[in-house]
Structure 1
Amino acid sequence: MPLRPETARQVDAMVADAQRAGHAPSLIIGVVRDGALAHLAAAGTQPSPDADLQYRIGSITKTMTAVLVMQERDAGKLALDDQLRRHLPEAAAAGRVTLRQLLGHAGGLQREPDGPWWERNEGVDLTTLLTGFTAAKVAHPPYRYWHYSNLAFGLLGGVLERTTGTPWSQLVRQRILEPLGLRRTTYAATEPFARGYVLHPWHDTLREEPRTDSRAMAPAGQLWSTVTDLARWAAFLADPDPAVLSPATVEEMCAPVILSDLDAWRGGYGLGIQLTRDGDRVHVGHGGSMPGYVATLAVHRPSRTGVVGFANSYGLRTGGIGPLGHRILTHVLDVEPGPTRPWTPAEAGTVRGDRVSRYAPEGPDRWRGVSGVENGEVLTVLRDEAGRPVALDIATFVFTRDPDGEP
């Protein structure tokens, strides 16, 4: 459903103001609702942006790497609490650092790999990345601090390669891009694409930035995409396709592993997913930057609303594209909270109330909670001497049809 005309006008104005104040050659933002692109706002002329124009997405790539790891976990090929050294013995110096900690930037690894700045130089293969991996790569004990690490995601890509026997670039294409129809999301730039620039700080001239192949560090930030494709990815995070990853696993990815903002608790990190609290809402997604490019992805899962966007300069002079995306998402949710769902009568045999839990069978007369306050708890059917069910025992609390509590 398109945005209302006044909301669309306000979003257009926010994007135009940000492009002018931030001195961005081009800036484009898409608003996503209920699985579709609901509005496109663009500003700038170098080049004139549209929904099919590629930009580099930078660290938004990490969200796809994380989905690949969770696919392997769900298939029983690895566990999140596996230590890194189990899959990459060359990284034994990481000690007890686990895959879960790497996904959440809670393992204490240093931010970048050794050598020249990987974002601006041609990358190395996995063997070279792992050469000389020492305990010095661990800057902090696990969970002591949230410490963002591009290196962690390069290593996770190595885990995927070792576990599957398939290069990361092939995995992401076969398991995510093709199934979801992300045809304009590619490993390398594919025309038409926006050239990326750095802006001179004094006289506003542009210099084109390099477009490198980061190779073993590709899982941390290599991919290129468009607003159309990134909108589909936002829709997936809001309402996952079970053929790619189960909704329960995506929900798990969006639960906090660690807080990144200990002062106000406004930011955290899940399993490869950035978490940003805005009032009573939590936005999930990720930011991205590579030389010449910045990108944003923010999704409010309960309303299936999101914002995606790009600019082709390294940062905006006023605030950055990430805060702009969050501001637009908050504004849309404030002024268009979504249609009110009508009340409908309950079906026969159901009970409505504030306390609702669902269960999955686990054995004869035994069920396990899968939602609500009893998630993970055991429900047991109690029977009398004749074998008739007379009560339910839920985590030692006994429920009967008798308001006095007698079976």
Structure 2
Amino acid sequence: MVNPVPPASAGTTTAGTTTVGDDDFADLLPETRRALAHRLAVAQRDGRLPGVVAAVLRDGQRRWWGSRSIVDGHAPDPDVQFRIGSITKTFVAVLVMRLRDEGQLKLSDRLGQHLPAVGPAVGEVTIRQLLAHTAGLSNEPPGPWWERTDGALRPELADLLQHPPLPHEPGRLFHYSNVGYALLGALVEQLRGDDWYTVLHREVLRPLGMRRTTALPDAPHAGGWAVHPWADVILAEPLQQTGRMGPAGQLWSTADDLTRWAAFLLAGDDRVLGAASVAEMRESQAPGEEGYGLGLMVARADGLSLVGHGGSMPGFLAGLWIAPEQRLGVVVLTNTTSSPGTGFGELATDLLRIVAEREPLIPEPWRPLAACDPEVLALTGPWYWGPTGFGLRLVAEDVLELTPLSGSNTREARLRRSADGRTWTAEGGYWHGEPMRVVRDAEGRVTHLDVGTFVLTREPYPADGPVPGGVDPEGWRAERW
């Protein structure tokens, strides 16, 4: 077992304070840096954290980092490894999405098509369900607590499955499953012909320059500790290799490497996974839940829309979150099994909030469009679904925004024109993925818009318009009752 936290790198002062280079937070104000350092110090004290390191990024670059430790002169720097637990799942999900984008599988495929060893019941669940924790599998494998026991206890895939293996009907609800991600790791191994970490290193870590993300600890790394719930004493946690359960939580990483990973989850990288596929991972999948996409948690906190993942293993807690609308990200790592109250639990979101509130993004200046199709421009203006008003605005050369004219209607969408210019598709909201048709009469004049069968006309319920079910021939009238 190593020291509570290894020595920091040269040039970092750690005796109760945090010192970083000016270039690391050149875009943050001194007051913001102090607020971040204060929040980190409070978390270390109140959460009784042996060691903690945090980093904030904006626009893909680290702008601040800080650390605290119980040992003066031994606070971790961004190159010290911690175990990251279930953040590992985000990496496995990217490997699966790469296979999808290559045409090796479809997310709608049954697992048994590619991995028959799982048996008939589990073989029926889909890859999408496994990614989104809606496959109905148990949380954990059978036997003793897998995070604290040797993975050799479960040498075969069948050893990961409870009996019965599906406590819930697939697709019915969100039920977090470490077992599901162990099976996804086995799927990657089956289709790539190599162990999952070797594939990860070759296809993801190396291209992104993440040299300090490993399956086994690589010095300098923190030792894992448990803090007594009723006394200020600590206990060393054992280190176990988790075998087939590794894809659920095996990885070790650093604040520096995870900052790169957060930047990737914000923007994608064509060497690994394109921006569109990464954005797809950020979309919530679980029925009735806002909480999980494809390998990524989806949440709201302090008015921010967040995507990321938490992680825990004996002796370690971790968090990685991005706020795409603010182009912000945060990484927090500590070496304790649990932390009371708000010590660690809200640290990540509080650090994001501090930057978002104190230094909001400066919007880009308004500029007119470089090009404008007259036929598209003619579509803009007011439209009505029955008596409900919408405004259609041209916001980019091939993008329209449909927004309600009153707050009582929540249906809205961005409409993007296809490359051939023939069709429009809604993005986001009630009509997400639905087509919009521009309907014309025999003379070529636009009569109405059809958005997922919702007929929009230029005036409310026109007497001679294409309104489903027709319009009362007496038309609009005033009545005294």
Q: Tell me how far 1:198 sits from its aligned partner.
A: 1.1
The whole-number CA distance in structure 2 between the counterparts of 1:301 and 1:172 is 25
1:137-152 matches, within 5 Å, as: 137-152=165-180
Farther-moved stretch of structure 1 (313-322 vs 286-295): 313-322
Q: Tell me how far 1:22 sits from its aligned partner.
A: 1.0
State the SS of the aligned residue for 1:309. Answer: strand
1:252-284 alpha-carbon deviations (Å, 9 max, x no partner): 11111116xx7xx6x511111001112543200
2:361 to 338, 349, 353: 338
State the SS of the aligned residue for 2:86. Answer: helix
Q: Does 1:369 align with 2:425?
A: yes
State the SS of the aligned residue for 1:41. Answer: strand
Letter in 2 for 1:10: A
The whole-number CA distance in structure 2 between the counterparts of 1:166 and 1:378 is 45
Farther-moved stretch of structure 1 (21-30 vs 272-281): 272-281
The whole-number CA distance in structure 2 between the counterparts of 1:171 and 1:157 is 10
Native 8 Å contact 1:93 1:134 kept in 2: no
The whole-number CA distance in structure 2 between the counterparts of 1:252 and 1:44 is 38
State the SS of the aligned residue for 1:151. Answer: helix
Native 8 Å contact 1:298 1:308 kept in 2: yes
Q: Normalization by structure 1: what TM-score?
A: 0.87
Q: Does 1:190 align with 2:218?
A: yes
1:293 to 312, 316, 320: 316
Q: Tell me how far 1:345 sits from its aligned partner.
A: 2.6
Farther-moved stretch of structure 1 (323-332 vs 220-229): 323-332
Q: Does 1:357 align with 2:384?
A: no
Q: Does 1:136 align with 2:164?
A: yes
Unaligned runs of 5+ in 2: 1-25, 378-393, 396-400, 403-413, 459-464, 466-481
Farther-moved stretch of structure 1 (331-340 vs 188-197): 331-340
- Alignment match, 2:64: 39
Q: Tell me how far 1:369 sits from its aligned partner.
A: 3.2
Native 8 Å contact 1:57 1:289 kept in 2: yes
Q: Tell me how far 1:73 sits from its aligned partner.
A: 1.0
Q: Tell me how far 1:95 sits from its aligned partner.
A: 5.6
State the SS of the aligned residue for 1:357. Answer: strand
Q: Does 1:69 align with 2:96?
A: yes
Name the % identity: 40
The whole-number CA distance in structure 2 between the counterparts of 1:213 and 1:204 is 29
Native 8 Å contact 1:30 1:39 kept in 2: yes
1:135-284 matches, within 5 Å, as: 136-258=164-286, 267-278=290-301, 280-284=303-307
Q: Does 1:304 align with 2:330?
A: no
Native 8 Å contact 1:295 1:322 kept in 2: no
Native 8 Å contact 1:197 1:314 kept in 2: yes
The whole-number CA distance in structure 2 between the counterparts of 1:59 and 1:132 is 17
Q: Does 1:113 align with 2:137?
A: no
Native 8 Å contact 1:90 1:130 kept in 2: yes
Q: Tell me how far 1:144 sits from its aligned partner.
A: 3.4
The whole-number CA distance in structure 2 between the counterparts of 1:186 and 1:132 is 23
1:379-403 alpha-carbon deviations (Å, 9 max, x no partner): 6898989xxx987987687999xxx
Q: Which structure has the larger Rg?
A: 2
Q: Tell me how far 1:7 sits from its aligned partner.
A: 1.4
The whole-number CA distance in structure 1 between the counterparts of 2:56 and 2:160 is 45
Native 8 Å contact 2:305 2:325 kept in 1: no
1:140-186 alpha-carbon deviations (Å, 9 max, x no partner): 11243322111110011111111221210111111111111111111
The whole-number CA distance in structure 1 between the counterparts of 2:110 and 2:306 is 30
CA, structure 1 residues 117+205, in 2 after alignment: closer, same or farther (shift >3 Å)? same
Native 8 Å contact 2:181 2:248 kept in 1: yes
Letter in 2 for 1:157: G
The whole-number CA distance in structure 1 between the counterparts of 2:160 and 2:252 is 31
Q: Tell me how far 1:361 sits from its aligned partner.
A: 3.5
CA, structure 1 residues 294+374, in 2 after alignment: closer, same or farther (shift >3 Å)? closer
The whole-number CA distance in structure 1 between the counterparts of 2:206 and 2:425 is 35
The whole-number CA distance in structure 2 between the counterparts of 1:247 and 1:399 is 36
Native 8 Å contact 2:142 2:161 kept in 1: no
Unaligned runs of 5+ in 1: none
Native 8 Å contact 1:357 1:374 kept in 2: no
CA RMSD of aligned residues (A): 2.9
Aligned residues: 392
Q: Does 1:97 align with 2:125?
A: yes
CA, structure 1 residues 118+238, in 2 after alignment: closer, same or farther (shift >3 Å)? same
CA, structure 1 residues 337+98, in 2 after alignment: closer, same or farther (shift >3 Å)? same
The structure whose RCO (Cα within 8 Å, separation 6+) is larger is 1
Native 8 Å contact 1:65 1:157 kept in 2: yes
Q: Does 1:59 align with 2:86?
A: yes
Q: Tell me how far 1:136 sits from its aligned partner.
A: 1.1
Q: Normalization by structure 2: what TM-score?
A: 0.74
CA, structure 1 residues 275+393, in 2 after alignment: closer, same or farther (shift >3 Å)? closer
State the SS of the aligned residue for 2:202. Answer: helix
Letter in 2 for 1:241: D
Native 8 Å contact 2:44 2:343 kept in 1: no
- Alignment match, 1:27: 52
Farther-moved stretch of structure 1 (150-159 vs 131-140): 131-140
The whole-number CA distance in structure 2 between the counterparts of 1:383 and 1:125 is 71
Native 8 Å contact 1:366 1:378 kept in 2: no
Q: Tell me how far 1:318 sits from its aligned partner.
A: 2.2
Native 8 Å contact 2:315 2:337 kept in 1: yes
State the SS of the aligned residue for 1:31. Answer: strand
